[in-house]
Amino acid sequence: MTPVAYRRAQSTGDAVRLAGMAGHRLLGGGTNLVDLMRKGVEQPATLVDVTGLPGGIEEAADGSIVIGAGARNGAIAAHPLIRSRYPMLSRAILAGASAQIRNMATAGGNLLQRTRCVYFADEAGSRCNKRAPGSGCDAIGGFTRYHAILGASPACIATHPSDMAVALAALDARVHVAGKDDARVVPLADFHRLPGERPDIETALEPGDVIVAIELPPSRLAARSDYRKVRDRASYAFALVSVAAGVVVEDGRIAEARIALGGVAHKPWRARLAEAALEGKVPSEAAFVAAAAAELATAEPQPGNGFKVALAQRTLAAVLSALCEDQA
């Protein structure tokens, strides 16, 4: 048995101080970190519990909503402000895990959950550049049903597993971070990284940084938004492909669209090509299909996941169609 020390952060400053110490890792609900410790993938000497830090969900003076990093996923999904103003976020969270896990998992931990690539999790038997930089990637040429089709690299084809983060990407959310030298705000779109040659560096966080809150800016399209997840089982399964989308139709044309895809890349994939293809168009099946095709044009599937390209295109077109029909 490996002994692990436990400490509880008393304040954000305390969390930052402890997070910067060698061998210390922050502990949210523990639903991902503790699993990975059992598998030997994560080996912290000390866990720093941050669930006592602010976890409220509040409206700011400018109408944005600020979600404390300690907010439980279940509480976010059920909150009246989230359900009414940002339904895609509520649905994305409810599409993930189980009620018990959502009640433990925190907003901060959800953003930082690690990939579900089976080769990453197989500490004893598989090579993984994310786990052991420079060791190789056994996913390439392996079982790739859940792996990336966009933005992958020869070093890593893993996907980001979070449903919540896909909705946050479409909503232009901002992550508030406290570090040893400063406090800063990182757009969600820049928070997670593509793998490149360093898949072990997954986010814009520096060692010792603490996520303090997630901010949802006011959005006129968020109230008419949706999240659709396609998976191998009806529940308790990660996305093969997911779509978070919001659309505003004005005077018979698409005035604004915000779209992100899940299950397809190392980070929540903001679908800016599809958004650009839609803006100004009269809603039609042909326009939805063309926008989806534009986004997936650069897809580079693995031998085992070519089906995801068509699946992503069709799911996106179907979500757009339903959202526009509601505003006809």
Ligand X SMILES: Cc1cc2nc3c(=O)[nH]c(=O)nc-3n(C[C@H](O)[C@H](O)[C@H](O)COP(=O)(O)OP(=O)(O)OC[C@H]3O[C@@H](n4cnc5c(N)ncnc54)[C@H](O)[C@@H]3O)c2cc1C
Can you give the binding site for ligand X, defined by CB under 6 A?
25-33, 35, 50, 69, 73, 96-97, 101, 104-106, 108-110, 112-113, 161-164, 210-211, 236, 238
Q: How far is the CB of 117 from ligand X (least distance, A)?
A: 14
Q: How far is the CB of 237 from ligand X (least distance, A)?
A: 6
Q: How far is the CB of 51 from ligand X (least distance, A)?
A: 8
Minimum CB distance to ligand X smaller for 236 or for 307: 236
Minimum CB distance to ligand X smaller for 44 or for 304: 44
What are the Cα distances from residue 142, in Å, to 138, 159, 300, 312?
Answer: 6, 15, 16, 22
Q: How far is the CB of 252 from ligand X (least distance, A)?
A: 36
> To which residue do tokens 């600020």 refer?
66
Q: How far is the CB of 107 from ligand X (least distance, A)?
A: 8
Minimum CB distance to ligand X smaller for 29 or for 283: 29
Closest CA relative to residue 263, chosen from 255, 252, 272, 271: 271
Minimum CB distance to ligand X smaller for 46 or for 153: 46
Question: Are the C-beta atoms of residues 195 and 156 closer than 8 Å to each other?
Answer: yes
Minimum CB distance to ligand X smaller for 26 or for 137: 26
List, as one string, the DSSP characters of 155-171.
TB------SHHHHHHHT
b/e code 154-176 from CB counts within 10 Å (16+ = b):
ebbbbbbbbbbbbbbbbbbbbbb
Q: How far is the CB of 165 from ligand X (least distance, A)?
A: 7
Q: Strand 225-230 and strand 5-8: pairing?
A: unpaired
Strand order in the sheet with 174-178: 57-59, 65-68, 210-216, 174-178, 183-187
Give the whole-angstrom CA distance, residue 36 versus residue 312. 29
Minimum CB distance to ligand X smaller for 15 or for 221: 15
Q: Is 258 helix (H, G, I), strand (E, B) or coil?
A: strand
Q: How far is the CB of 272 from ligand X (least distance, A)?
A: 22
Q: How far is the CB of 282 from ligand X (least distance, A)?
A: 35
Sign of torsion, CA 324 243 103 14? negative
Minimum CB distance to ligand X smaller for 193 or for 281: 193
For the record, the structure tokens of 252 come out as 């018979």
Question: Are the C-beta atoms of residues 170 and 259 closer than 8 Å to each other?
Answer: yes
Q: Strand 174-178 and strand 210-216: pairing?
A: antiparallel
- Point out the residue whose Cβ comes nearest to ligand X: 109
The strand pairing partners of 256, in sequence order, are 248
Minimum CB distance to ligand X smaller for 184 or for 220: 184
Q: Is 74 helix (H, G, I), strand (E, B) or coil?
A: helix
Q: How far is the CB of 115 from ligand X (least distance, A)?
A: 11
Sign of torsion, CA 160 166 170 176? negative
Minimum CB distance to ligand X smaller for 109 or for 283: 109
